[in-house]
């Protein structure tokens, strides 16, 4: 199984990381460690270099927009891409959950575009964080072509699946443990209509633990709960779905198939 988005390199796992990594290896779970700042990205790269079942991405989360110099970020990300086996750029995008768009859009968009340009320059997939910002994300992506886009922790409606699929990109929709929540009816309907070859699954660990572990520290070991829920919603055999998800992950991130 492939957890296409997690943060087990972060400090939240300092107390149990070694034990968790042993369990991942034992259960044949591969994980993609996603960077959220320059320092966090370096930690992801360092940890991934030590284990064959881990891979790393580099990026600066939109929440970091107040703490960064855009030219320094461009230079640092470029250097990391040149000197490390990075499999994707991001996570990046917009997040208007804590702020109104008019307060942060300009800064977050500048940061987003740096990631897009680097993803194109290095032919890497782009991992997008979009929270309360589907329209703005769509508008920016519509200005570019030929990206591989992973819409991380997708919570959009079915209409947004259709709309994103009008873009000139290879789009993947990645679903997290949110889909197991009782109040996630809209997202559960969405996962039913996503084309089979565009489906991905993730944990976003340590966040968003699925039912029945909601509220606990999430880990890639809980990935199967989300896969089971997707299989139930799409009325597909769990083993068949797992094979589809693994194939899509390998294709999206150019991992040897």
The per-residue pLDDT for range 224-236, each reduced to its tens digit, is 999 999 999 999 9
Q: For the residues 99-121, what does the mean pLDDT come to?
A: 96
What domains appear along the chain, each with residue ranges and CATH number?
A: 2-252 (3.20.20.140)
Query: Percent of the chain scored above 90 by pLDDT?
Result: 97
* Rounded CA separation 255/257 (Å): 6
Q: What is the pLDDT of residues 15-32, one digit of tens each?
A: 999 999 999 999 999 999
H-helix segments, 27-86 = 38-48, 70-83
Residue the block writes with tokens 């996630």:
184
What pLDDT score does 256 carry? 85
C-alpha dihedral, 27 to 55 to 69 to 115, nearest 10°:
-110
74-104, pLDDT tens digit by residue? Answer: 999 999 999 999 999 999 999 999 988 999 9
Residue 80: both structure tokens together: 């990391």
């Amino acid at each position: 199984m492939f957890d296409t988005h997690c943060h087990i390199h972060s400090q939240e796992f300092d107390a149990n990381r070694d034990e968790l990594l042993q369990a991942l290896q034992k259960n044949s779970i591969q994980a993609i460690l996603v960077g959220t700042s320059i320092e966090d990205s370096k930690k992801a790269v360092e940890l991934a270099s030590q284990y064959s079942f881990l891979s790393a991405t580099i990026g600066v989360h939109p929440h970091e927009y107040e703490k960064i110099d855009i030219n320094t970020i461009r230079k640092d990300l470029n250097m990391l891409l040149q000197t490390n086996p990075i499999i994707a750029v991001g996570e990046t995008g917009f997040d208007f959950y804590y702020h109104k768009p008019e307060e942060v859009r300009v800064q977050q968009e500048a940061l987003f575009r740096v990631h897009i340009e680097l993803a194109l320059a290095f032919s890497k997939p782009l991992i997008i964080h979009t929270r309360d910002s589907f329209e703005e994300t769509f508008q920016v992506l519509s200005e570019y072509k030929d990206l591989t886009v992973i819409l991380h922790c997708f919570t959009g409606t079915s209409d947004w699946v259709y709309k994103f699929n009008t873009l000139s990109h290879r789009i993947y929709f990645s679903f997290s443990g949110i889909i197991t929540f009782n109040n996630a009816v809209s997202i559960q309907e969405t996962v039913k209509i996503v084309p089979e070859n565009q489906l991905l699954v993730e944990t976003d660990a340590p966040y968003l633990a699925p039912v029945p572990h909601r509220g606990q520290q999430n880990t890639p070991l809980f990935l199967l709960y989300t896969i089971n829920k997707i299989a139930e919603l799409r009325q597909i055999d769990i083993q068949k779905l797992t094979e589809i998800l693994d194939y899509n992950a390998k294709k999206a991130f150019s991992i040897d198939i």
